[in-house]
Structure 1
Amino acid sequence: MAQDELDGLVRRRIRALRVAQGWSLEELAGRATMSPSSLSRIENGQRRIALDQLVTLARALDTSLDQLVETDTDDVISSPMIDGAHGVLRWAMKAEPGMSVMRHRMTDPPPDNPARMRAHPGHEWIVVLSGTAILMLGDRRFRVETNQAAEFPTMLPHAIGAAEGPCELLGIFDRDARRAHSPEKS
């Protein structure tokens, strides 16, 4: 992407984020400790954007500098990865730094043997998109229905599987849980 294109993209993002928050030029300028006229000229392309201004604007807009200037849109479409050994189909999705989101399609029930349950550092959230999932946490068994969510520390021995038929869910992992659930470790 050429520099002019990147500048235009960043300017549009700044304005779009400001408008999405319902903020006026004056309000964002105040949060970023700059004058409203300077912010207006930045948004309209009449003033070059300095790196320190980008950092300040990113903070004021509650985003990261990386997200503000990101240009990689080549991986908008995600193809599933098949993990036949665990009966899951996974779609990798982008998330905040340190977080990971995976969409799973599960067909097998969770393991009956507690020795096959995993425990590792981290925290995990699941949201069932369709079907019913069975969440095993230690010696407890939970049915998680469509549109329900569960949250748990992954230091508890745990396993997730399908109930009576296939289920699809989003698994959201913090940095530590993501390491344990990366496809290379599955």
Structure 2
Amino acid sequence: MKQNDGDLDGLVRKRIRALRVAQGLSLEELATRARLSPSSLSRIENGQRRLALDQLVTLARALDTSLDQLVETGTDDVISHPAVDAAHGLMRWPIKADPGMSVVRQRMTQPPPDNPALMRAHPGREWLVVLSGTAVLMLGHRRFRVETNQAAEFPTMLPHAIGAEGGPCEILGIFDRDARRGHPSAEEVPTR
């Protein structure tokens, strides 16, 4: 029985095919990974075969994704609104990510403090990608200029601070679970 593309079943079938194509896998390659015949996989993608939970689990693994991501339907939080953190000269946009990670877009206007006593240190690891402008990353007594389209990765046990140089800059800050705990404001962003 062919399923309606507007329902969850149709959405999951489209995702399976889209992930297979995006990863450059043929029907035969994915079928082998998922321990299915190529014809069975073709019928699953085309809606001519019923989707079984055990097949979905196997297909999710074969596509290097989770079952949750394969069947996710939530689209209510597609658009996020910025929150202004005037005390730190930042604008933050919450971005949905792995529950263990936090991704925050920040607009910075102030330079970072260059006094290590004013910097924070905590367990974890952080990454930043400069979207526009020039950011300055202070790590202890070292100063790094990070230009547009450059990224930095560092352990957060080093005293650190990030700011702008020569005008505003926008960055994506990515915090692992431990680093996120060291930056509670990364999670305390009100949404509308």
TM bracket (short chain): over 0.9
Gaps of 5+ in 1: none
Tell whether 2:96 aligns with 1:94: yes
Q: Say if 1:147 and 1:161 are closer, same or farther in 2 by CA, change over 3 A.
A: same
Tell me which residue corresponds to 2:123. Answer: 121
Superposition RMSD in Å? 1.9
- Paired residues of 2:137 and 2:145 also in contact (CA < 8 A): yes
Residue 172 of structure 1 and its aligned partner are, at CA, apart by 1.2
User: SS at 1:171's partner residue?
Assistant: strand
Picking from 37, 40, 43, the partner of 1:41 is 43
Tell whether 2:30 aligns with 1:28: yes
User: SS at 2:7's partner residue?
Assistant: helix
* Aligned residue identity for 2:135: A
Residue 179 of structure 1 and its aligned partner are, at CA, apart by 2.3
Tell me which residue corresponds to 2:62. Answer: 60
User: SS at 1:56's partner residue?
Assistant: helix
Tell whether 2:77 aligns with 1:75: yes
Fraction of identical pairs, as percent = 81
Trace 1:9-20 onto structure 2 (pairs within 5 A): 9-20=11-22
Q: Say if 1:185 and 1:117 are closer, same or farther in 2 by CA, change over 3 A.
A: farther
More moved, 56-65 vs 105-114 = 105-114
Q: Give TM-score scaled by structure 2 length.
A: 0.90
User: What is the rounded CA distance, in whole Å, between the counterparts of 2:188 and 2:122 in structure 1?
Assistant: 12
Gaps of 5+ in 2: none
User: What is the rounded CA distance, in whole Å, between the counterparts of 1:8 and 1:185 in structure 2?
Assistant: 36
User: What is the rounded CA distance, in whole Å, between the counterparts of 1:74 and 1:180 in structure 2?
Assistant: 29
Picking from 156, 161, 186, the partner of 2:163 is 161
User: SS at 2:50's partner residue?
Assistant: coil
Residue 95 of structure 1 and its aligned partner are, at CA, apart by 2.1
Residue 185 of structure 1 and its aligned partner are, at CA, apart by 6.9
User: What is the rounded CA distance, in whole Å, between the counterparts of 1:81 and 1:185 in structure 2?
Assistant: 10
